[in-house]
Structure 1
């Protein structure tokens, strides 16, 4: 692995108030403010990584990306709150250690979570902490930023709710986006037409109650975009679908990050969805 000489980048990600979005709210997948070189312009031997805090009862965390050998800290994310997804950070290809500690912990604090992640040339990854605090876990998801065909859009879903064991999402036209997606997993990417889509979510609650949880949201998908839909818990015990734009269009940057600026927001074979937005 080549030596990284750039100075650590420190980013504070805060949670914004009023970001629990109800049914009928239009969630436009607008680009985040921070972007990195696109696959077409990036130097050879470079990939991207972003981080997500998806554990609802875990307070702020500090995240460190370190060299696998030597432990040198290369990037830092401070005071990351629940639901925050960082922008993509460019990194030379190689294997790194991603560690997480409670916000403000001394440098000597043993990480609450630690995982090795391999950055591949021209590829992107999302590293996410998810689940309840007492059983918090970390997953590394491969992000496929391949542009959709024929001017459409591509979407996938990451099931991060602790209130639901499995989640299903369908469009209002009856096309399945996710079917019984388990906690901590990501679906394959589905290709849909660009434009506004109404998404209906249904889930069976975890535990013995076995209640049915539902949510509905409208998502505007731009032509040529790639979007991840995160299923998260709300403060009132419900579920919400939060879209995060991964890539704006062919030849443009992978962007990542919650488009509102903070707060809320296992892979299966790729599927293709037909039909028109609705």
Structure 2
């Protein structure tokens, strides 16, 4: 597919990192420290050399809502919890001391002694942002972690990457309505690298095995965004844009521009315009 407007876009986005998909959201516990959002106009000044950021998400369409617990590997104390996380929920970034943590998912409302549906050990590095995601069908649920690249784009541009979380198709192609390729043969459970595009409104076409759809995405100048390919309740595909960073010099964000439920300002949205799929745990 031709890529006349930005010829280096396909190469950057098609370079798949072994990647990761995210899934999690719910209100942060009282007293928890959250990273300032772009709307607050604040930039974190409390983050030191030993602090990183962690973001969580729920991208398994047939897995019911879950509670997520993040515990320090050393000592096992719970650092924070997210309750009632549903499909399509993506949390804001949480600042944490650099170190190793266990991320565990249990059915929503389960007791503290319940056996986790799945758990994974992740390492948070200083001055880096990390996304941990649960994805895939319940029968093959997986959790992975990857480092988010918040490098600033050039003036008037935005940076995006694509994470293929759909269970409806093993691979997906994403292109603009003018035929510019965003991603080719993006495999389920994979993430592309970040690429720079002109800021503005984009109409995207998604094509997979036996399924196709369109999605509208808007990216602001100076922003860094992850585009999640998810399933809809009608058996189609949609894109959920998640803001990684709103502008140069701002702390990581993570609020969702459009799509399913999400965590923003320590509140969970129950609105799901995209009518994302949901199922039984």
TM bucket, shorter chain: 0.7 to 0.9
Partner residue, 2:242: 244
1:218/1:224 CA distance change after superposition, 3 Å: same
Match of 1:220 among 218, 221, 232: 218
1:54 aligns with 2:69: no
Partner residue, 1:232: 230
Partner residue, 1:12: 27
- Could you tell me which runs of 5 or more consecutive residues in structure 2 were left unpaired when the two chains were aligned: 1-24, 29-36, 263-268, 275-281
1:36/1:130 CA distance change after superposition, 3 Å: farther
Match of 1:161 among 149, 160, 166: 166
Partner residue, 1:3: none
Match of 1:145 among 150, 158, 162: 150
Q: Give me the whole-angstrom Cα distance separating, in 1, the residues matched to 2:147 and 2:41.
A: 18
- The 3-state SS of whatever aligns with 2:139 is helix
Q: Give me the whole-angstrom Cα distance separating, in 1, the residues matched to 2:76 and 2:226.
A: 31
1:157/1:229 contact within 8 Å kept: yes
1:34/1:119 CA distance change after superposition, 3 Å: farther
Partner residue, 1:185: 190
Partner residue, 2:257: 259
1:85/1:258 contact within 8 Å kept: yes
1:69/1:34 CA distance change after superposition, 3 Å: farther
- The 3-state SS of whatever aligns with 1:134 is helix
Q: Report the TM-score, using the length of structure 1 for normalisation.
A: 0.77
1:82/1:33 CA distance change after superposition, 3 Å: farther
Q: CA RMSD in A?
A: 2.2
1:152/1:191 contact within 8 Å kept: yes
CA deviation map 1:196-218 (0-9, x unaligned) = 112111111xxxxxx2x111122
Q: Report the TM-score, using the length of structure 2 for normalisation.
A: 0.77
- Could you tell me which runs of 5 or more consecutive residues in structure 1 were left unpaired when the two chains were aligned: 1-9, 14-30, 205-210, 266-278
2:201/2:219 contact within 8 Å kept: yes
1:35/1:88 contact within 8 Å kept: no
CA deviation map 1:164-194 (0-9, x unaligned) = 1011111223222211111111111110011
Offset of residue 259 of structure 1: 3.3
